[in-house]
Structure 1
Amino acid sequence: MTASTPRARRSQQERRAVTVDRLVAATVETILELGYYRTSVKEICTRAGLSVGAMFRQFDSRLELIGKVALDLTEQILESYRSAAKVLQAQPDPRRSAIEFLAASASAPLTDVWRELMMAARTDAELRAMIAPSLPLLYEGAYELTEELGLFGNVPESERRVLLFSMMHMFSGATLTRPIYPLPDIDEQRVSLAAHYLSLAADLEPSIPGEVTT
């Protein structure tokens, strides 16, 4: 571009997208550093370098912005899973590597923000309703990816979903308690235990839903 060539002006839609991205990024940053309940409109706008009016031109309320944040978090986390999948498939033990990645991703910053939202939603019905549509997208998206990769290929189909979700819950719970009760020696054992259960599940016959097996 020469000095005499005028820059193309952004369309209104492009300007709106940039503003929304800045608000979402500022909200994620604030929740990560201060927690959900200290994430005020003023703090978000200050970090985004925008006026409060600019925020309310894009969102009717702070809660609506949080709903957008939940959706964007889900998409970003799933994209990180997809990017990692290419590397995991090339590992000597893709299943073990996938479990290690799942454990690490449970304490990633984006996941920490999602967890903060879920904890706040327990006692906040409006927040719960706003973020509820996004969480199934995260879990089901992770499940679809494991199916595409064939990571649970030898596991009976009826067992795969509960196995993946249980591992995600286990690693998420460990991340929640770690700041208060760190157990680094158990963290590695937890990965090995998950890998062990996965190998056992691969040898299971499909069970009848609701049936207790021994």
Structure 2
Amino acid sequence: MATQTERRERTIALLLDAAIASLNERGYAATTTHAICERAGLSQGALFRHFPSRRALLAAAATEVARRQGIAFAAADLGPVISREALHRVLRELVRLGSSAENRTWHELMLAARTDEELRSALEPATDEYHRILMAGAAGLFEAASAPDPRALLRVVISVVDGLALAVPVSHSAADIDAAVDQLATLVWPVLQE
């Protein structure tokens, strides 16, 4: 028989999974507390027992997404970028991670937060953690590079990867993505050699 703590953790996990899936599949506006509870197989009372508001649940979902992305990034074991081939491999993997359901959820929340100040404020701790995870995980990628500011370079790369990830389901074919990754590698490699 499950303990109260185990039941609580399971309920929270169900709610987070349902929120993440709904944000990815239905978008921010359609991710209502009703939709989340229906997907999780729980009552709204269960949701509000653990989260005081929809925004609080979505902020917790963002924190969970950051955690999952950090695990996925670490599991990819990309290693340092010491050759142009390694750079291509890293960029391809970053695009794959950027196109994941978790990252699409992240984008959905970031776009909604652009015009919702309360959501933006609720997401701030998760955003800080997400950037910390990305920078820490990627620090080793460019450690062998002599680029003047590897963190700034990483921000540029992540911005391009995020742009590609947003476009993938709408307008970009696999060939388009491959061509973009090749072009990005062509632009980034000389910067790493400075």
1:186 & 1:176 partners in 2: Cα distance?
13
The equivalent residue for 2:145 is 154
Give the superposition deviation at 1:193.
2.2
The equivalent residue for 1:198 is 188
1:64 and 1:130 in contact (8 A); partners too: yes
1:197 & 1:155 partners in 2: Cα distance?
15
Q: Percent identity?
A: 27
Give the superposition deviation at 1:175.
2.5
* Residue 45 of structure 2 corresponds to residue 45 of structure 1: no
Cα distance, 1:47–1:183 mapped onto 2, change above 3 Å: closer
* Residue 130 of structure 2 corresponds to residue 138 of structure 1: yes
Aligned residue for 1:38, secondary structure, equals: coil
* Residue 191 of structure 2 corresponds to residue 188 of structure 1: no
Aligned residue for 1:133, secondary structure, equals: helix
Give the superposition deviation at 1:67.
0.8
1:28 and 1:113 in contact (8 A); partners too: yes
Give the superposition deviation at 1:66.
0.6
The correspondence of residues 84-163 of structure 1 with structure 2, limited to 5 A, is: 84-85=76-77, 88-89=78-79, 93-147=85-139, 149-156=140-147, 158-163=148-153
1:30 and 1:39 in contact (8 A); partners too: yes
Greater shift after overlay, 167-176 or 105-114? Answer: 167-176
2:145 and 2:192 in contact (8 A); partners too: yes
Aligned residue for 2:111, secondary structure, equals: helix
1:107 & 1:84 partners in 2: Cα distance?
14
Greater shift after overlay, 132-141 or 75-84? Answer: 132-141
Cα distance, 1:136–1:144 mapped onto 2, change above 3 Å: same
Q: Pick from 28, 36, 44: which aligns with 1:36?
A: 28
* Residue 62 of structure 2 corresponds to residue 70 of structure 1: yes
Give the superposition deviation at 1:164.
0.9
Which structure has the greater CA radius of gyration? 1
What is the identity, as a one-letter code, of the residue corresponding to 1:138? Y
What is the identity, as a one-letter code, of the residue corresponding to 1:125? E
The equivalent residue for 1:13 is 5
Give the superposition deviation at 1:99.
1.0
2:65 and 2:106 in contact (8 A); partners too: yes
Gaps of 5+ in 1: 1-8, 205-214
Task: Point out the structure with the larger helix share.
Answer: 2
The equivalent residue for 1:168 is 158
The equivalent residue for 1:208 is none
2:80 and 2:141 in contact (8 A); partners too: no
1:95 and 1:151 in contact (8 A); partners too: no
1:60 & 1:90 partners in 2: Cα distance?
43
1:161 & 1:90 partners in 2: Cα distance?
14
Give the superposition deviation at 1:60.
0.8
Aligned residue for 1:112, secondary structure, equals: helix
Aligned residue for 1:122, secondary structure, equals: helix
CA RMSD after TM alignment = 2.1
* Residue 50 of structure 2 corresponds to residue 58 of structure 1: yes
1:159 and 1:201 in contact (8 A); partners too: no
Give the superposition deviation at 1:197.
2.8
1:27 and 1:44 in contact (8 A); partners too: yes
